[in-house]
Amino acid sequence: MSAPVTRSAGTAAPNMPWTLVRLRWTLTNAALKTSPWQVVAYVLAYLLALGTVVGTGILAFAVGHGMAHDMWEYLPAVMPLAGTAGILFVALMQAMFIGENSTMSMDKFAPYGIPDRTLQLGLLLAGLTGIPAITALVGFMLWAMAYRGLGAAAVISQLVAAPLIVLTAMCVSKALLAVADIITDSQTGKNIFYVVVIMLFVVVAQMPNILMINEVSLDAATLAPIARVFGWLPLGAPFMLPFDAANGQWLFWLLHVLCALALCAVCFLISQWCLHWQRTHSSDAVRAKAAKGLGLFSRMPDSPSGAVSARLGSLLRRDARQSMMFIMPLFFVVIFALESKDTGSWFVWMGVLMGGMFMSLTESNGLAYDGQGFVMEVIAGTRAIDDRTGRVRVYLIIDTVYIALLSVVAFIITGDWSNPSGLATAFTFIAASWGWAVASLGVAELFNCSILYPVPSMAKPFTNPQGRGAAQAFLPLLYMLAEIACMLPTAIVAIILAATGHGDAYLWIIPVALANGVVFLCLGTWLGAKLLRTRMLKVVQTLDSFAALQQ
């Protein structure tokens, strides 16, 4: 009698966790084939990883060699604090940009009856064998050189701590994402979660600046008591191992290891529980969403481009993935306001200016956010210019209204409405912000039909198409360089005015910035339409391949 699962001699049962690791890399390699830009992005990501490793090595060597001897007293105070902030930063980054790989997500494996623990372990290992984790591991191991002055035990302890730190960061990130996936079972929940994560991210990222500007003392004596507390918290504990070893406090060493391992175990169990919960509960709070009438379709122009505008506007209102774009400019104003103590009110207006720059960031990949729905336009034979005009109309309205609102906020913060000089400064920045926003929009209309990269699916905004990380890191950077370049005419006029001693004539920047914005908007829309007309079917093909990555 043979049991159904009996295998032929010599065929061993597959090691499931390692099978998942192999699957991860197979999928990553497959993502490379979706577009040549993915290859470029990967090469740059690998170079970045290499640079991080080399940079860490050089810094560690310098610190350990005594070239930066004055840093030694800081190390016990800085490492647990910086380490904790770093792990939190990584977890928030994951939630905001990278997410759980959608192809490696648990629901894809549901039909195979893999035990929860095995599956969770496989997903964890798959994460640990990725380039970011390997880079971090090598970097932390090289950091051991920084502790040469503390003795061999400290160096060896850092080598032990390195995998522990990476494991802790990975477990915390996975647990955070798993919990996020469960608590955000409604669209509103997803939007709120996204906004909260981004707020935390910006605050964590800006904390050092805010502390410095507000003259909070960061000397070793001030930090030491805080660091001692954080050293006993699970995120900071693995960073204490070299110091415990250097001081011969082996009991503390052991307790710090246990502290970190306990957190990993708890995070693993949380992730496993979430996995079980997702399997046993409906994935969505199924409440049919109703909308009376035609909505935006009755308020946009009665034309194909109006249809595109109405559809895009409706989509943006319901798309958690793009919420970040709408919150980021406001955060710029708030952060710049916090940092404007010593610089004056113009710095708040810099926030409005920077906000303008970021308003079309997601539109630069707008067709990828539309997804395969874009095919409806192709089926209908919609003219490319109608698509571009429809899209531009929506963003033009958003940009204008948003910059007006930001300006009101900035006026309230600065009080610049009360004097002519303040008003002149304000309107110069407002004009420059609007000009930059619409010029960037023009650039975005060129980018989104030529350089696309995969995005998460709308249903699961916290998941990540396998292999998206590299592209997402690089391609928006390319777009930002282009939008900086497109404002060069305004920048040149500003520099000339300053250099020729006509700084007080800066009001001339207003018409230049407005004209600069309008010209690039028109140019971008027109060229974008020409490009889309020739690339329409290629775009459809690319979107199909992205959709396959999301599944």
Partner 1 sequence: MAMPPAMQPDPAMAVSIRGLFKRFGDKVAVNGLSLDIPTGSFYGLVGPNGAGKTTTINMLTGLLVPDGGVAMILGHNVWQDVNAAKRLIGLMPQPEQIFPTLTGMQLIVYAGMLRGMPRTEAAARAKDLIAAFDLSSAANIMVRDYSAGMTKKICLATAMIHSPRILVLDEPFESVDPVSSANIKDILVDYVRTGGTVVISSHVMALVERMCTHVAVVNHGQVVAAGTVGQVAAGEDLEERFLQLVGGRHGAAHIAWLDGGADGQAPPSAAASPQAPAGEVRR
User: Which residues sit at the interface with partner 1, rule CB under 8 A?
Assistant: 1-4, 6, 286-295, 297-298, 302-304, 306-308, 310-311, 314-315, 318-319, 370, 372-373, 375-383, 458-459, 537, 540, 547
| Residue 382 beta carbon to partner 1: minimum distance, rounded to whole angstroms | 5
In the complex with partner 1, which residue's Cβ is closer, 194 or 436? 194
CB of 465 to partner 1, least distance (A): 15
CB of 301 to partner 1, least distance (A): 9
Closest by CA to 438, choosing from 346, 503, 525, 548, is 525
Give the nearer residue to partner 1 in terms of CB position, either 302 or 342.
Answer: 302
**Distance of closest approach, residue 188 Cβ to partner 1, in angstroms:** 13
CB of 320 to partner 1, least distance (A): 11
Is 529 within 8 Å of 392 (Cβ atoms)? no
What is the DSSP secondary structure assignment for residue 100, as one 8-state letter? E
Q: Three-state secondary structure along 120-176?
A: HHHHHHHHHCCHHHHHHHHHHHHHHHHHHHHCHHHHHHHHHHHHHHHHHHHHHHHHH
Least Cβ distance, residue 538 to partner 1 (angstroms): 10
Cβ nearer to partner 1, comparing 298 with 421: 298
Nearer CB in complex with partner 1: 217/551: 551
Distance CA 46, CA 35 (A): 17
Distance between the two ends of the chain, CA-based, in angstroms? 40
Nearest to partner 1 of 191, 516 (CB atom): 191
Structure tokens at 145: 């050189």
Query: Of 323, 355, 331, 345, which Cα lies nearest the Cα of 435?
Result: 355
In terms of Cβ atoms closer than 10 Å to its own Cβ (0-12, 13-18, 19+), residue 375 is middle
Residue with Cβ nearer partner 1 (33 or 502): 33
Burial class (CB in 10 A: 0-12, 13-18, 19+), 416: buried
Q: How far is the CB of 181 from partner 1 (least distance, A)?
A: 18
Return the structure tokens found at 25: 């890399």
Measured from the CB atom, is 458 or 494 closer to partner 1?
A: 458
* 224 vs 540, beta carbon nearer partner 1: 540
Q: Mapping DSSP to helix (H, G, I), strand (E, B) and coil, where does residue 463 land?
A: strand
> What H or E segment, with its residue span, contains residue 99?
none
Q: How far is the CB of 434 from partner 1 (least distance, A)?
A: 29
